[in-house]
Chains A and B, each alone.
Chain A
């Protein structure tokens, strides 16, 4: 019996769920291994009987909460897909504004037709079994989680920082190239793709379980960022965790 899989999106750009199917060589194998029964982006038929739910997006409206809870009740396994679902992501930048101001900025005169609330990751609303992190997700990691779920084992997702994979890649440290990098506290799994490509880590995969954020902030300041600039760095993807502290 192939497991029935569903994809759902909340507040997000829907890029992660598309990336989940952007697996080229393995797409046919994937479709052979699971039944996709609910996936708005790829098919019109829908079935509300599924085993595994992949959730993209963060929660930013009251109306999203009961919908998410219903999915949780149905799914045997619930997997957060992408930065918005896992850690709140860039959507949480809104949380630094008064909600009515945020509405007005986005919708101008039509603001009165909409409601909103401070943004949160889905784990703030329902229990989450597994996380596929990143903005966007790393498709290899997505497949790794799928394969683990098919086997009935817990996916081995790294709980160490980006530095590990960055050093494995043989990169010169972004700090040594005059950049400011969140790699030392952000969870690996991306193969340090940004640093390998000549940039630095923005933190899209969220913090490791036991991050030494204080030390990272000291280091960013030592290398020349102001306290405000340090906070800006953390806020881009990790505002929810930083504010919740």
Chain B
């Protein structure tokens, strides 16, 4: 059914064609024209009932088309559509016979209704001008509503920006030295809207690095005069995380004790944001919930490829669009496209916060004494780069400067930061955050706890600038947050263990063994042979140790001197040096002592098997090594060459004389012995133990060296072994440490992170190279 014929005149194809389709669907006969000229040509040839005409047309404007139509075809009823309504245009158009007008973006139902009413009124009402005058349309601001999103072409955005540069200071993101910075822009082409992150944040336009607060006069009649800068400014290209940072500054500087300098600048600043679609690899904005924002901007752009979506955040933003830009309603999949590009951007973030950010304050609360702060801040340069590039760091110093005539001056505030050494120093010289660790911790606490508790927003927006600026690579809050979260998780798991574990009630309680034999080695050293009740073996490996108790005196770690191959009893060779050993030396056959263990890893028998073994003992290093020597002799077939070197300080300090004699005669082992200092009776080799090493020939590829002796010996022996080209992995050492508990709890035996009683006492040199406290 033909309801009537309609001509649509609009230069924007999308508008023209969509109106055509709506009206066709509604049953009208529709023709279209791209320009005023084309429309007038068509009207010459064909009659129409209604003309829908855009006011702003290239060439002949909508108003002049109306004039022509009124002159030539006065019966055609005209409706005007415009994105730029003004009282003047409307009144001019109605004088020229326009029936009504619609504001772009045009709503289909409303248009259809108007066309229908216009057609219905034809022939009944001569004019509807009075109706228009009686019911004036709402004013301009209704064009673009706050909180609504529209589509703006790049061309229209450009004209918006170019128009702004003519009227107001425009600041935007520019490229510099392959990075991005905020700076004054003079034209749209300078502007980068697709960037990862700027070197410094846009907050410098709200809080400059240095600004004058007061001008003053010095002297008997001092006077002060506040200095407040109010330069209207537009900042274009602000990412959501920076918008969130500005919202925090607003909270800190506007909510209580409103800061006159900040608030004046803030009120004079228009923020045009842009969604961050290619985030910096150091950014973790999603973790802080700042990768998107619905507030804090006047306008927010999203690059949807063909054009930009523009979301209106304030009346000021709406005014800007109304004044300088052409926008239209999103159509088709444009809304979906905006969501899609945002989702794609979200997937590009490389860093994530491992815990919900809401948990950060509590986590930090519980981690104040964590060793992390100390260890992680070791390389901190205290250079302040992290706080200087931070959008949420707003701390400052205040200084007076006077002129040389000493009559007037200025009081300024200068950006300052808690990572700088003197930040918390007072006039008396006291520095309340004097060490790197406490400053490092304080900054992270501000980011994840203090600021949140004070202002209700996190003090970190996850922009990652600090991580980029930090040469020591320690500044990223997400790294600190994740580290303490991990530490807390480990603690949490330990707590869970508490419920599941079945306590070993005998962990600290010794078993009792009987002393069955005592042999004197030297005046200071004795060998003790023990047997458990019922002859039960100790169940040890060579190189392990036990904790020996003399009840009432105490407990001491003693290495086991005998091989498990000679079980039934076990032997401990002991030098009389401390309370427990002194008490042991006083015991005779039949005495009862407490034994806990065996503890520790022992020598790596599996690795030694099939190899040539070079065993080196210095002094009472022979005590633990003897357990291995006996084991090797008792399993002689499992090893290649067996070379044994032993050195004592003097002939009188030689140990296990019987066994030394046995070994020296045994065809199964190559035994070399030396004393540091000889005497008349000594016929053997004289010299420190290292002097024996060059004498022996070994194959470094198949030789494992096992070295046990006093700490001083290790360095020199290792030097000689390295000359023989034995790799670090094949040099095995047993370390002496103060092992109080034997079960990895008390901490006394710890070397860096290693517990000697658990991972040791036997280590390869390769392992020890990483333990700087070891040798």
**Does A160 contact B404, Cβ atoms closer than 8 Å?**
no
Q: Tell whether A164 pairs with B179 under 8 Å between CB atoms, given A26-B404, A147-B401, A219-B471.
A: no
Contact A184 B200 (CB under 8 A): no
List which B151-200 residues lie within 8 A (CB) of chain A.
Answer: 176-179, 181-183, 199-200
Contact (Cβ within 8 A) A215 B472: yes
Q: A33-B404, A147-B404, A219-B472 are in contact. Are A171 and B199 (CB under 8 A)?
A: yes
B-contacting residues, A173-229, CB 8 Å: 173, 175-177, 183-185, 208-212, 214-216, 218-219
Indicate whether B331 reaches chain A with its CB closer than 8 angstroms: no
Per-residue CB proximity of B370-387 to A under 8 Å, as 1/0? 000000001111111100
B107 at the interface (CB under 8 A from A): no
Residue from B381, B405, B406, B436 with most neighbouring chain A CB atoms (10 Å): B381
Q: Is A144 an interface residue (CB 8 A)?
A: yes
A29, A172, A209, A212: the one within 8 Å of B380 (CB)? A212
Report B-chain residues with C-beta under 8 Å of the C-beta of A236: none
Give how many A-B residue pairs fall within 8 Å (CB-CB).
Answer: 113
Kindly state the separation between the CA atoms of A236 and B382 in the bound complex, as whole angstroms. Answer: 23
Q: Which of B176, B210, B382, B405 contacts A168 (CB 8 A)?
A: B210
Contact B421 A151 (CB under 8 A): no
Query: For residue B406, which residues in chain A have a CB less than 8 angstroms away from its CB?
Result: 33, 147, 150-151
Cβ distance B481 to chain A, nearest Cβ, rounded Å: 23
Complex: how many Å from CA A212 to CA B382? 8
Given contacts A172-B199, A209-B421, contact A167 B404 (CB under 8 A): no
Assess whether A172 is in contact with B381, with CB atoms less than 8 Å apart.
no
Verify if A143 is at the interface (C-beta below 8 Å from B). Answer: yes
Partner of B404 from the list A32, A173, A185, A216 (CB cut-off 8 Å) is: A32
Q: Is A156 an interface residue (CB 8 A)?
A: yes
The reply to whether the CB of A66 lies closer than 8 angstroms to some CB of chain B is no
- Confirm or deny: A75 has a beta carbon within 8 angstroms of a beta carbon on chain B: no
Is A160 within 8 A of B200, CB to CB? no
In residues 31-59 of chain B, which contact A (Cβ within 8 Å)? none
Tell me the residues in window 483-532 of chain B with beta carbons closer than 8 Å to chain A beta carbons.
Answer: none
Of A143, A151, A159, A168, most B-chain CB atoms within 10 Å: A168
Verify if B402 is at the interface (C-beta below 8 Å from A): yes
CB-based nearest B residue for A223: B471
Interface SS majority for chain A:
helix
Contact partner of A159 among B183, B403, B422, CB < 8 A? B422
Contact, CB under 8 Å: B384 / A160: yes
Chain B CB within 10 Å, residue with most, of A175, A183, A215, A219 = A215
Bound complex: CA A114 to CA B200 (Å): 54
A204 → B minimal CB distance (Å): 17
Contacts of B420 in A (CB 8 A): 159-160, 164
The answer to whether the Cβ of B388 comes within 8 Å of any Cβ in the partner chain is yes
Contact of B179 among A144, A150, A169, A172 (CB under 8 A): A172
> Could you tell me the distance in whole angstroms from the C-beta of B454 to the nearest C-beta in chain A?
25
What sequence of 0s and 1s flags, for each residue 137-149 of chain A, a beta carbon within 8 Å of any chain B beta carbon? 0000001101100
**Contact at A215–B379, with CB atoms within 8 Å?**
yes
Name the one of A29, A160, A211 contacting B403, with C-beta atoms under 8 angstroms.
A29
Docked Cα-Cα span, A208 to B382, in Å, equals: 10
* Known contacts A147-B404, A151-B406; is-contact A168 B199 (Cβ 8 Å): no
- By a CB distance below 8 angstroms, the chain A residues around B383 are 160-161, 163-164, 183-185
Would you list which residues of chain A between 88 and 145 have a CB under 8 Å from chain B? Answer: 143-144
The answer on a CB contact under 8 Å between A185 and B381 is yes
- A161 to chain B: closest residue by CB: B383
Give every chain B residue within 8 A of A33 (Cβ-Cβ): 404-406
Contact across chains for B388 and A146 when beta carbons are under 8 A apart? no
* Chain A interface size, under 10 / 10 to 19 / 20 to 34 / 35 or more: 35 or more
A208 touches B399 (CB 8 A): no
Distance in angstroms between the alpha carbons of A146 and B403 in the assembled complex: 10
Residue-wise, chain B 678-716 has the 8 Å CB interface mask toward A (1 for contact) of 000000000000000000000000000000000000000
A30 within 8 A of B: yes
Q: Knowing A26-B404, A170-B204 touch, does A164 contact B388 (C-beta < 8 A)?
A: yes
Given the complex, which residues of A lie within 8 Å of B182, measured CB to CB?
A: 170
Chain B residue numbers with a CB within 8 Å of A151 are 402, 406
How far apart sit A171 and B402, CA to CA, in the bound complex (Å)?
Answer: 29
Give the distance to chain B from A37, nearest Cβ to Cβ, in Å: 18
CB neighbours (8 Å) of B469 from chain A are 163, 167, 173
Closest approach, in angstroms, between the C-beta of B192 and any C-beta of chain A? 14
For A29, list chain B residues within 8 Å (CB): 403-405
The smallest C-beta distance from B391 to any residue of chain A, in angstroms, reads 12
CA distance A153 to B243 in the complex (A): 42
Given A159-B421, A159-B422, A173-B469, A167 and B385 touching (CB < 8 A)? yes
Known A172-B179, A215-B379: A150·B385 in contact at CB below 8 Å: no
Q: Mark B391-427, 1 if CB is under 8 A from A, else 0.
A: 0000000010111111000000001010011100000
Report which residue of B176, B381, B383, B405 has the largest number of chain A beta carbons within 10 angstroms of its beta carbon. Answer: B383
Contact A215–B403 (Cβ < 8 Å): no
- Judge whether A170 and B200 touch: CB under 8 Å: yes
Which A residues lie within 8 Å of B662 (CB)?
none
Asked if B389 is at the interface (CB within 8 A of a chain A CB), the reply is: yes
Residue of B nearest to A153 (CB): B400
Q: Are B199 and A170 in contact (CB under 8 A)?
A: yes
Give complex CA distance A164, B415 in Å. 9
A172 to B417, CA, bound (A): 19
Complex CA–CA separation, A184 to B382 (angstroms): 8
Using A32-B405, A167-B389, A175-B471 as known contacts, say yes or no to A216 and B381 having CB atoms under 8 A apart. Answer: yes
B209 an interface residue at 8 Å Cβ cutoff?
yes
Q: Contact mask B590-629 → A, CB, 8 Å, 1/0?
A: 0000000000000000000000000000000000000000
Measured between alpha carbons, how far is A140 from B30 in the docked complex, in Å?
76
List which A22-43 residues lie within 8 A (CB) of chain B: 26, 29-30, 32-33
Q: In the assembly, what is the distance between CA of A218 and CA of B381, in Å?
A: 11
Which chain A residue lies CB-closest to B420? A160
A31–chain B nearest beta-carbon distance, Å = 9
Q: Complex: how many Å from CA A161 to CA B419?
A: 11
| B179–A176 touching, CB < 8 Å | yes
Q: Which residues of A contact B421 (CB under 8 A)?
A: 159-160, 208-210
Report Cα–Cα, A189/B563, bound state, in Å.
Answer: 71
**A168 and B415 in contact (CB under 8 A), knowing A156-B399, A210-B382?**
yes
| Cα–Cα distance between A219 and B403 once the two chains are bound (Å) | 41
| Selected contact of B381 from candidates A156, A171, A176, A184, CB within 8 Å | A184
Chain A residues contacting B405 (CB-CB under 8 Å) are 29, 32-33
Given the known inter-chain contacts A29-B405, A33-B404, A147-B404, please indicate yes or no for A163 contacting B181, CB distance below 8 A. no
The answer to whether A144 and B404 have CB atoms under 8 Å apart is no
Contact B177 A150 (CB under 8 A): no
Q: Which residues of A contact B472 (CB under 8 A)?
A: 215, 218-219
Shortest Cβ gap from A165 to chain B (Å): 8
**B residues within 8 A CB of A183?**
383
Q: Which residues of A contact B468 (CB under 8 A)?
A: 176
Give Cα distance in the complex from A30 to B403, angstroms: 10
Contact, CB under 8 Å: B381 / A212: yes
Shortest distance between the CB of A167 and any CB in chain B (Å):
3
Question: Contacts A146-B404, A151-B402, A160-B420 known; A170 to B379 CB distance under 8 Å?
Answer: no
Q: Closest Cβ of chain B: how far from A77's Cβ, in Å?
A: 17
Contacts of A167 on B, CB cut-off 8 Å? 200, 384-385, 388-389, 469
Assembled-state Cα–Cα distance A30/B404 (Å) = 6
* A64 to B: closest C-beta gap in Å: 32
Q: Jot down 15 A-B pairs with beta carbons below 8 A, ordered by A.
A: A26-B404, A161-B383, A167-B384, A172-B176, A172-B179, A173-B385, A184-B383, A208-B382, A209-B421, A210-B382, A212-B381, A216-B471, A218-B379, A218-B472, A219-B381
The 9 closest A-B pairs by CB, nearest first: A167-B388, A168-B209, A163-B383, A29-B404, A215-B379, A172-B177, A184-B381, A184-B383, A164-B384
